[in-house]
Amino acid sequence: MPKLRALFIGNSYIYFNNVPHLLNVLTDSAHEERRLETKMIVGPGFTLERHWADGGDVSVLDVAGRLTLSKGSSVLCDTLHDLAAKGHKKILVNLGEVSYLDSSAIGELFSGYTLVANYGGQLKLLGLTKRVRNLLLITKSYSVFDVHDDEAVAIRSFS
């Protein structure tokens, strides 16, 4: 029997109330032979229209603050690993709110880039601040990544 699939697109209400899990509990209690497969896509102001406009299969990872050895760089790599392991093949890392990167964070971006490529995917960067852009240029890292300033253009650039 084919799987039933449900896609939940929304904001914090969907996330904090774990609506996909609640639906799974309800269908399990009905003792249906078919299994329900759920997927949740949530974010501030996220709508079905944005999901369609985004192509629906591009994962946008918004990063903010300072990315250093002690703050966030390993979390970034872990998140990229989780996305790649779950089958996300098109990952756009939005660094528009990142004020500083140190060498460990640049290394984590390289590791993430390689990891995603090893899973058959693509990792691209979005919205670099002047400071982050200059740091990537100085370290000769800029040319490794496909960098975009506009999110819609970046999303369309995935093949």
Ordered per-residue pLDDT tens for the chain, 159 residues: 556 677 777 666 676 777 778 877 887 777 666 667 777 766 655 555 555 444 568 888 888 788 887 766 677 888 888 888 888 899 999 898 888 888 888 998 999 999 999 999 999 999 999 999 999 999 999 999 999 999 889 988 986
Rounded-to-integer distance, Cα 101 and Cα 80, Å: 17
CATH number, span 54-156: 3.30.750.24
Which of 70, 71, 74, 59 is closest to 98 using CA atoms? 71
CB of 96 closer than 8 Å to CB of 129? yes
Rounded-to-integer distance, Cα 145 and Cα 143, Å: 6
Q: In the chain, where are the structural domains located?
A: 4-46, 54-156
**Residues β-bridged to residue 62:** 94
DSSP 117: H
Beta carbons within 10 angstroms of residue 72's beta carbon:
20
CB of 31 closer than 8 Å to CB of 64? no
Please report, for residues 5, 9, 56, 132, the alpha-carbon distance to residue 38 in angstroms, rounded to integers and kept in the order given.
Answer: 6, 11, 15, 37
The residues near 145 (Cβ < 8 Å, ≥ 6 apart) are 109, 113, 123, 124, 125, 136
